[in-house]
Amino acid sequence: MSSQIVTIGIDVSKLNLDIYQALKHHQIPNTSKAIRHWLKKLPPGVFLICEASGGYESLLLTLAHQAGIPIVRVNARQVRDFAKAQGLLAKTDQIDAKLLADFGRVFQPAALPTPEPLQQELAALVKHRLQLLKQITQTNNQAETLTDKKLLALVAKTVQFLKKQVKQLEGLMAAKLKQSQNLANKSKRLQQVQGFGLLTATSLVALMPELGTLSDTQAAALAGVAPFNQDSGQHRGQRHIHGGRHQVRSTLYMAALVASRFNPILKALYLRLIARGKAKKLALTVLMRKLIVLANKLLKNPDFSLAT
């Protein structure tokens, strides 16, 4: 990022955007009309930076891309660690907006690529499906503690209704995929991996549009399956994963379970790790990382072929 570029920090909430721009704070509503009006008034050479805010930043990202203004969405944990490193413990919307601007100026993160509109629509369907699957699991778990037959019958109806919605969403996902040859080709390419079915491949294409443009390390970190050191002095702590996109990680976890049973190469790796005394969860995490790195390579290099 050039030193000529002015970084604008934006703290996003459900109702408002708190903006730190040209050493001043101001606030606008988080609405299409207000954001469009503000973007039109921005001078050339600005760079917008915001945090992932539970989806409330989606409108800002979409309108910034439509206006041709570079914008980046950063992980909130990274920004909070940046604040702690400066001894900044207070947290308000105005402080966060300035902090984001400072973070962007110091680290100069790469702007988000302009997304394909159909990819965004597909991502919304995928996310809602994952939420429903989580709700089904939670409802079934709660049912295990119930004994009242009438209540159990109501719970069963709820689960049946949720499963019906999941099927409807899967139909909508398939229809959306057919509208984009690019997305369909990516999904088909990923399905070459044993462990990636249609739904898994489509979910990864929707949730990680960056796939095919990343390094191995970047792909693993973005998916939240990169191990981070916990070392100090002579102490060597256990590596842990954190951050990344939790919905991608959930998708990879299910794929790793399948791969640990049916993918000959990854199954052998999984069994070797278990034989060496590694916990099953850790062994699956290794498979998750292998899978996302493999997915990235498949989309990055059309000539890359899978080992058999």
Tell me what pLDDT residue 232 has.
40
Kindly state the tokens that stand for 163.
């499963």
Tell me what pLDDT residue 226 has.
74
Tell me what pLDDT residue 233 has.
45
Q: In degrees rounded to 5, what are phi and psi of residue 159?
A: -65, -40
Please report where in the chains the tokens 């369909």 appear, as a residue: 184
Tell me what pLDDT residue 114 has.
83
pTM: 0.76
- Positive or negative, the Cα torsion across 107, 35, 180, 207? positive
Tell me what pLDDT residue 243 has.
56
Tell me what pLDDT residue 151 has.
95
Tell me what pLDDT residue 283 has.
96
CA 215 to chain centre: 16
Tell me what pLDDT residue 34 has.
97
The whole-angstrom separation of Cα 68 and Cα 114 is 9
Taking a C-beta distance cutoff of 8 angstroms, is the pair 219, 248 a contact? no
Q: Given CATH 3.30.420.40, say whether it is the number of domain 6-107.
A: yes
Low-confidence ranges of the chain (pLDDT < 50): 1-2, 228-238, 240-242
> pLDDT tens, 136-157?
999 999 999 999 999 999 999 9
Domain ranges of the chain: 6-107, 117-179, 204-300
In terms of DSSP bridges, do strands 16-21 and 6-12 run parallel, antiparallel, or are they unpaired?
Answer: antiparallel
